[in-house]
Amino acid sequence: MSISRTSRRARAALGAAAAAAAAALLLTSCAGPAASSGGDVGDRVDGGSITAYSANITYLDPRQNHGFVGRAIADSLLDIDPDTFELKPWLATDWTVNEDQTEFGFTLRDDVTFSDGTPLTGAVVKANFDAAVQQIEDGNGWYIRGLFDNYVETEVVSDTEVVVKFSEPNPAFLPTVPTSFLAILSADTFDKSYEERQSGDFVGSGPFELESYTPNEQITLVRRDDYDWASDVSEHTGAASLEKVTINFVDEQSVRENALLAGEVQLAQNPTVEGSKQLVDQGFSLISRAQSGNPYSLVPNFARPLTKDLDLRRALSKVIDRDTIQASITTDAEPASTSVLTPETFGYADQSAFIDYDPAGAEQILDDAGWVAGDDGIREKEGQRLTFTIVNWWEPKAVIDALQLIKEDAGKVGIEIDLVNEAPGGSTWTDGEGDFLYNNATRADGGIALYSQYTDEYLQTNSGATTDEVTEPGSDLSRILEESFVEPDIDARQDLLAQAQEIIVRDAVRIPVFDNVNSESGYFASDPKLHGLRENSISELVLYDAWLGN
């Protein structure tokens, strides 16, 4: 049975309320006691090692690709409580924001060291933010693209005080500071190439350090015994409880979950839907949190003539039966999308009215546009066949099955879908041969998620189109997003982002499908003896609080 439209809208309303509350809390400079893990599992036990099976990890540097390994090695200035969205101290004990959100002051702890023994200072923080600007200029800053457009400087007031300055209001900055995208690394790290850092040649101040990394095979993390600056979100203080974490790369999801069932490992990344049910039935735990940012969506390549056609994109969106995908494939854990932001993201606004399953409406659009069914049922116009190539870079079976259903339903109205499954960065998409990329994006703030993809500046860079060329006349999407990015008032910013989402969904500038858990770095099944695992605000698994009991 598919979930009703009413219940989807109720969920969407709750998501919007949570996002608005989160925005207010992010501006609050207060800290409270960390939440407890709950449940009677006995006292925390120090020591022990665990083994995890995960998909291959090729980017260890947290500033190049978010993930639970980089998060274990590197801390941030602040943390966010993922339940209340309240900012908490971490490497910074205090922070201030001026009225128009152009200056952000941080007071640093004076006892933090990196794993190479060097101290955290204001100069190190400046080096980190300056390096973020350089990373974007080098084309390597996908996750923070746009965030430093109006960056002026980081002023070092003292060894423990810095002020980050922008020439325009930057309300997306503070929510991004706690993420691994702006993890604080040693100053010497930025002398390394991106390729060196990608392979683990970087130094953080986190509770673990990298002991070894064998590409395509294994990662070994060991704890820092001198670690004593956990964030206020954490459930304990001092060093991590686990002494060692060994992560073996195993491609097959079923192999990973079967190893967990057999007691060979204590953690298995991204179990299958059916495997998850079996694991839960046998007492294993599932750790997941919905992703913040963009849900799984069809992302158009506007350099392709068919994909640039507004009518064709709208028709394709109408043949996606999102409720059936949820009911038969993804389950309620990964519900049908209601916008191009997930409800866990600041700025989210429900756009269900533009996401109806309407194959008859799709057929009418295609008929009116002059696309006529050929002998095999696929439509043609002026000798051109209506075929879209959809490129998929993701391994979960739910993704593959959802795309297969989309292909079948599209075929019923005369749209041919050519599915190409390839490894991330595969040549079909990078060479410009795909019409759509099936993709999601993790972002801490909905404003940066949309601004960094759908203003004219960024859209032209990606596919040579302007927003006016791919939206209804007068939509003015680029201007709306540019205004939202520098709007310091929470309510006004929320309204601008709602307008932008309506345009993007209505005109199929991005076609959302389902809201996903963070399978890449935050969806795991665990042994019942492994306690204290949690997820942060961008749904990365956090190893610091984990411990082995009985």
Residue whose C-alpha is closest to residue 288's, from 36, 15, 71, 521: 521
Q: What is the CATH number of the domain that holds 535?
A: 3.40.190.10
* pLDDT mean across residues, the chain: 91
Q: How far apart are CA 57 and CA 49, in angstroms?
A: 20
Regarding whether 530 and 441 lie in a shared domain, the answer is: no
Residue 437 falls inside a structural domain: yes
Which tens digit of pLDDT belongs to each residue from 317-328? 999 999 999 999
Which tens digit of pLDDT belongs to each residue from 99-113? 999 999 999 999 999
Regarding whether 480 and 421 lie in a shared domain, the answer is: yes
Q: How far apart are CA 14 and CA 75, in angstroms?
A: 31
Which tens digit of pLDDT belongs to each residue from 449-507? 999 999 999 999 888 899 999 999 999 999 999 999 999 999 999 999 999 999 999 99
Residue 34 pLDDT > 70, yes or no?
A: no
Domain with 360, as residue range(s), is: 5-16+291-514
Residue 203 falls inside a structural domain: yes
Residue 440 pLDDT > 50, yes or no?
A: yes
Residue 28 falls inside a structural domain: no
Contacts of 496 (CB under 8 A, 6+ apart): 480, 481, 483, 484, 487
Average pLDDT over residues 395-423: 94
8 Å CB contact between 162 and 122: yes
Residue 344 pLDDT > 90, yes or no?
A: no
Residue 32 falls inside a structural domain: no
Residue 25 pLDDT > 60, yes or no?
A: no
Tell me the two tokens of residue 120. 């955290």
Q: How far apart are CA 132 and CA 166, in angstroms?
A: 14
Regarding whether 390 and 316 lie in a shared domain, the answer is: yes
Regarding whether 422 and 376 lie in a shared domain, the answer is: yes
Residue whose C-alpha is closest to residue 331's, from 277, 293, 382, 375: 277
Q: What is the CATH number of the domain that holds 454?
A: 3.10.105.10
Which tens digit of pLDDT belongs to each residue from 230-266? 999 999 999 999 999 999 999 888 999 999 999 999 9
Regarding whether 438 and 417 lie in a shared domain, the answer is: yes
Residue 34 falls inside a structural domain: no
Residue 11 pLDDT > 60, yes or no?
A: no
Tokens 């090729």 correspond to 58
Regarding whether 157 and 84 lie in a shared domain, the answer is: yes
Regarding whether 265 and 329 lie in a shared domain, the answer is: no
> What pLDDT, on a 0 to 100 scale, did the predictor assign at position 9?
45
Which tens digit of pLDDT belongs to each residue from 46-80? 999 999 999 999 899 999 988 899 999 999 999 99
Residue whose C-alpha is closest to residue 171's, from 150, 140, 153: 150
Looking at the structure of the chain, the number of domains it has is: 2
Q: How far apart are CA 335 and CA 10, in angstroms?
A: 13
Q: How far apart are CA 5 and CA 338, in angstroms?
A: 10
Tell me the pLDDT band of 329, cut-offs 50, 70 and 90.
very high
Residue 25 falls inside a structural domain: no
Regarding whether 107 and 165 lie in a shared domain, the answer is: yes
Regarding whether 314 and 180 lie in a shared domain, the answer is: no
Regarding whether 393 and 539 lie in a shared domain, the answer is: no
Tell me the pLDDT band of 42, cut-offs 50, 70 and 90.
confident
Residue whose C-alpha is closest to residue 483's, from 473, 474, 472, 495: 495
Regarding whether 433 and 303 lie in a shared domain, the answer is: yes
Regarding whether 476 and 429 lie in a shared domain, the answer is: yes
